[in-house]
Amino acid sequence: MFVVGDIEIERGERVALLGRSGSGKTTLIRAAICLRDSPKPFLDGRDFCADPDYSKVSAVMQEPSWQVLAETSEEELSLISRYHDGNISLARELMGPYFSTPFMKLSDGYKRRFVLSSVLVGGPEYLLLDEPFSNLDSEGVKLVSEALPHTYLMAEHRVPELRSMVDRVYVISSGVREVNKDKLWDEDFLRSHGLRGFKIWRERRRLGETILRADIKGISVEVRRGEVLCLVGSNGSGKTTAIKQLSKRGVRAVFQNPDLQFFLKTVGEEVNSSEALSLFNLVHLKDRSPYTLSYGEKMRVLMASAIASGSKVVAFDEPSTGMDGDSLISFVRALELLSEDGRGIVIATHDRDVVEVCDSVVKLG
């Protein structure tokens, strides 16, 4: 058995860890692999951090670049194979045609596959996962789900993907407590705990004239006043590249690596709008450095800043990464306000919840 704080994982159990952004899910996983002093993790009754064995307990963290040692997945696995045997064919399947592609040239979805394959190939007895499905397309989610071992703890906002995958559920809300798995279908419970998985609805308005024309991957795209246009496609199809192209045309864009997009000392200075701070539930964080926030909170700061910018077209690259239920509601409300203000919105996404609120969808790849 592996124990960290109030969470217990028996061998062969698949366990979900849910909670709002900033509730402490990442902190708990970091403590479980000895990157924090408390709570102390115990493996079969022994203090795991007294003599940690990461072949028994391993983790896939939220930011892929933190766990990369080599330039390509092929080179990474060659390095790993010097210390223990691994299932290289599993990594080849997860990486597909990008097995030998340099990490920095991969899409964000394949960067996540890179790290997942590196950890999975070692076959740990207990696997801890922090938002493993972020930025993955449907094929990637399926491949990763099938490749996971029989014993894991998964922190994830995308509740619908978890429903058939886990045996037990813990929720962080004024402490950690176990809840009945049936709660994953209870929309009132999900909403009240800031979790995803409930139906999303957006008020739609009549669209205005075209305010942006662009050629995206050979496809002519028009964005009208008040329109929410979604770019969809498999990992590596060019969605992020498309957003980069739009940013060169004066579109205010929010990308997937938040730490590279902060320039000021506090959240309040970054957003520079009390209305946007309130909309994204950031008022209590306005005096904090954005670098000290959780991933989901960082993304909310960037979205609030983009909305407050006044740009006539705003673009978001996978905005629901790290987004909890509360943030999803705020984001949809922000889309409504932008639409009402006559601005255009472009969203690159794999998230079905986000696609549901789009006026039009363009498939790339």
Residue type, 228: V
H/E segment holding residue 7:
strand 7-9
**Structural domains in the chain?**
2-192 (3.40.50.300), 210-363 (3.40.50.300)
Q: Tell me the CA distances in angstroms from 287 to 20, 264, 277, 278, one per residue in order.
A: 20, 11, 11, 14
DSSP-H helix ranges across the chain: 25-32, 73-80, 88-95, 108-120, 138-147, 159-162, 187-192, 239-247, 267-271, 274-279, 295-308, 325-340, 352-355
pLDDT given at position 15:
98
Give the alpha-carbon dihedral of 324, 59, 91, 166, to 10 degrees. Answer: -60
3-state secondary structure of 307: helix
- The predicted pLDDT at position 87 comes to 75
What sign has the CA pseudo-torsion 251, 229, 145, 178?
positive
Q: What is the pLDDT of residue 66?
A: 85
Q: Which residues of the chain have pLDDT under 70?
A: none
Which residues have C-beta within 8 Å of that of residue 112, sequence separation ≥ 6? 64, 132, 134, 135, 136, 140
Q: Using CA atoms, how far apart are residues 97 and 72, in angstroms rounded to an integer?
A: 12
- From the list 263, 259, 269, 297, the residue with the least C-alpha distance to 281 is 297
Q: What is the pLDDT of residue 134?
A: 84
- Which pLDDT tens digit goes with each residue over 92-105? 999 999 999 999 99
Could you tell me if 227 and 344 are in contact, meaning their C-beta atoms sit under 8 angstroms apart?
A: yes
Backbone phi and psi for residue 198, each to the nearest 5 degrees, phi listed first: -95, 160
Query: What's the confidence (pLDDT) of residue 65?
Result: 87
> How many Å apart are CA 128 and CA 134, to the nearest integer?
15
Residue range 142-178, pLDDT digits in tens: 998 998 989 999 999 989 989 999 999 999 998 999 9
Rounded-to-integer distance, Cα 50 and Cα 201, Å: 50
